[in-house]
Amino acid sequence: MGFPVSNNNSSRSDQLLSEIATGSGHGENSSYFDGWKAYDRDPFHAINNPNGVIQLGLAENLLCHDLMEDWLKKNPKASICSAEGVSAFGAIANFQDYHGLPAFRHAIANFMKKVRGGKVEFDPDRIVMSGGATGAQELISFCLADPGDAFLIPTPYYPGFDRDFCWRTRVQLLPVQCKSSNKFRITRAALESAFKQAQQDGIRVKGVLVTNPSNPLGTSMERDTLETLVSFVNEKKIHLVCDEIFAGTVFAKPRFISISEIIEEDPTCDRDLIHVISSLSKDLGLPGFRVGIVYSYNDNVVNCGRKMSSFGLVSSQTQHLLASMLSDEEFITKLLDESRRRLSERHRSFILGLAKMGIRCFESNAGLFCWMDLRPMLKEAVVDRELELWKLIVNDVKLNVSPGASFHCEESGWFRVCFANMDDHTMEVALRRIRSFVYREVAAKAEAKKKRWQAGLRLSLPRRFEEMMMSPHLMSPHSPLVHATG
């Protein structure tokens, strides 16, 4: 039997592997992931590397880990790795049923209800496990569509979907363009137009994929938008997948409305079309535990999904621990309340810090990030200018923010900035860096303007940038801008 002989000819070696392995469907060739790489090469550390890159591109929720650590100390029996809990070791280490531990499924169903304000019941028998929401997205895509089929997806959307939903399934995502002038709302007209375009292109549309609350906008969907989506999919007889993994991060009004609530109130909805994705990665800040859930109202999807979940089960040790923690109702209620309070506080101080520099963010009530509006800083509203500015922010200012283009946003100049994955000190350093960057830019523009004026040339600063420079915040007596423009 011969073994493959290694050679240096890359096209020859490419042929040894599958198209999936050699293609770019993983989506990692994007500015979104490039920013992460920049951070990995030179990560900020307050003492060891104070000039390193600060990670503002990772939607992690680290604000309540102390509360969970306290709970673990008080409840050592919950873990099979403690003297108090080790007696369950044999049974748990051996457990491999892909339905999952009954106690875990019950606890998850209860948790989903609690996060949704107790408005809807979830049936533990419909809980299908997977490796994080990443695995859940792929699982649902495999269940609902064939290679070449498409899902419509409103923009801007989470860049990971290009990998999770499409890479190995060969399903495509077709953007439904949403605009800031309409607060990025999903309209019936935009859905119809994307659907029609797909039909003209000979593409079979199998459904719509939405994220509620939105990543990157940080907004929860209004009731009428959800109703529009339900009526659209029912009329077209296609699926609706609602990624609700940020449901527990809603920290301000309006309250979160789940798609489950909408269909409970609508007896005409064909429930076989509705599927919810949930996870503990954002609500509890446990992405390392890889808990992803597909909650489908379609029996066949539940049956098939459960079999598929054997490719990405949540480890029984994790299920065991979480079943115990999530069943402590009093603790979970307090944890969710405190998490919302801390998120709200962090959000408030972060956007206030930006506002003092004249930077506005899209108004939001949820999520672990804000959608920062740097449109006034672009010389031209085009992707190249946005990416130029982004490179400057990553390489010079040493902040990994994510450009709107990586979220398929059709308007240039928006950036997602995560604020819940760091301590207060790091946030202050990040804000200081943004402040000096803005002031430097302002001073440079003012200098250029002065020179042009002296040369008798027409002033050519973009108007919106001038407006930003003249904002009351920037005109504070302590602002370097006063000196820069003076």
Ligand X SMILES: Cc1ncc(COP(=O)(O)O)c(C=O)c1O
The least distance separating ligand X from the CB of residue 459, rounded to whole angstroms, comes to 42
User: Could you give the angle at which helices 316-327 and 329-355 cross, rounded to 10 degrees?
Assistant: 90
Closest CA to 279 of 78, 67, 57, 112: 112
Which residue has the closest beta carbon to ligand X?
A: 132
420 belongs to the binding site for ligand X (CB under 6 A): no
Question: Closer to ligand X at the Cβ: 211 or 258?
Answer: 211
CB-CB contact of 292 with 277 (8 Å): yes
160 belongs to the binding site for ligand X (CB under 6 A): yes
The least distance separating ligand X from the CB of residue 118, rounded to whole angstroms, comes to 24
Closest CA to 287 of 141, 169, 160: 160
Q: What is the dihedral of CA 352, 357, 361, 366, to 10 degrees?
A: -30
Question: Closer to ligand X at the Cβ: 281 or 316?
Answer: 281
Question: Closer to ligand X at the Cβ: 294 or 442?
Answer: 294
The least distance separating ligand X from the CB of residue 283, rounded to whole angstroms, comes to 10
SS3 176: strand
Closest CA to 63 of 349, 316, 320, 323: 349
SS3 438: helix
Q: Could you say which of 134, 258, 339, 365 contacts ligand X (CB under 6 A)? A: 134
Active site residue ranges: 158, 243, 245, 282
Residues 306 and 315: their CA atoms lie apart, in Å, by 15
Q: Could you say which of 31, 79, 155, 211 contacts ligand X (CB under 6 A)? A: 211
The least distance separating ligand X from the CB of residue 433, rounded to whole angstroms, comes to 24
Q: Could you say which of 38, 80, 115, 133 contacts ligand X (CB under 6 A)? A: 133
Q: Could you say which of 53, 54, 56, 59 contacts ligand X (CB under 6 A)? A: 59
Residues 158 and 156: their CA atoms lie apart, in Å, by 7
215 belongs to the binding site for ligand X (CB under 6 A): yes
Bond prior to 472 in cis (omega within 30° of 0): no
Question: Closer to ligand X at the Cβ: 364 or 479?
Answer: 364
Scan residues 305-364 and list those touching ligand X (CB under 6 A). none
Q: What is the dihedral of CA 137, 142, 148, 153, to 10 degrees?
A: -30
Considering only CA atoms, give the Rg of the chain: 24
Question: Closer to ligand X at the Cβ: 281 or 485?
Answer: 281
The least distance separating ligand X from the CB of residue 278, rounded to whole angstroms, comes to 9
The least distance separating ligand X from the CB of residue 201, rounded to whole angstroms, comes to 26
**111: region left, alpha or beta (phi > 0 left; psi from -120 to 50 alpha):** alpha
Q: Could you say which of 218, 248, 287, 413 contacts ligand X (CB under 6 A)? A: 287
Q: Give the number of residues in contact with ligand X, rule: CB under 6 A.
A: 14
Q: Which residues contact 111 (CB under 8 A, 6 or more apart)?
A: 280, 326, 332
Question: Closer to ligand X at the Cβ: 156 or 358?
Answer: 156
Tokens representing residue 387 in the block = 């990416």
Tokens representing residue 104 in the block = 């875990």
Q: How many CB atoms lie within 10 A of CB 73?
A: 8
412 belongs to the binding site for ligand X (CB under 6 A): no
Question: Closer to ligand X at the Cβ: 104 or 437?
Answer: 104
Scan residues 73-132 and list those touching ligand X (CB under 6 A). 132
33 belongs to the binding site for ligand X (CB under 6 A): no
- Distance spanning both ends of the chain, measured CA to CA: 80
Residues 438 and 465: their CA atoms lie apart, in Å, by 11
- Beta strands 150-154; 172-176: pairing state: parallel
Closest CA to 302 of 140, 73, 103: 140
Length of the chain: 486
Q: Could you say which of 39, 122, 158, 362 contacts ligand X (CB under 6 A)? A: 158
Question: Closer to ligand X at the Cβ: 80 or 247?
Answer: 247
Question: Closer to ligand X at the Cβ: 172 or 421?
Answer: 421
Scan residues 225-284 and list those touching ligand X (CB under 6 A). 243, 245, 279, 281
The least distance separating ligand X from the CB of residue 130, rounded to whole angstroms, comes to 9
The least distance separating ligand X from the CB of residue 277, rounded to whole angstroms, comes to 7
The least distance separating ligand X from the CB of residue 40, rounded to whole angstroms, comes to 17
The three-point CA angle 163-226-405 to 5° equals 35
**244: region left, alpha or beta (phi > 0 left; psi from -120 to 50 alpha):** alpha
Q: Which residues contact 41 (CB under 8 A, 6 or more apart)?
A: 53
- Binding footprint of ligand X on the chain (CB under 6 A): 59, 132-134, 158, 160, 211, 215, 243, 245, 279, 281, 287, 292
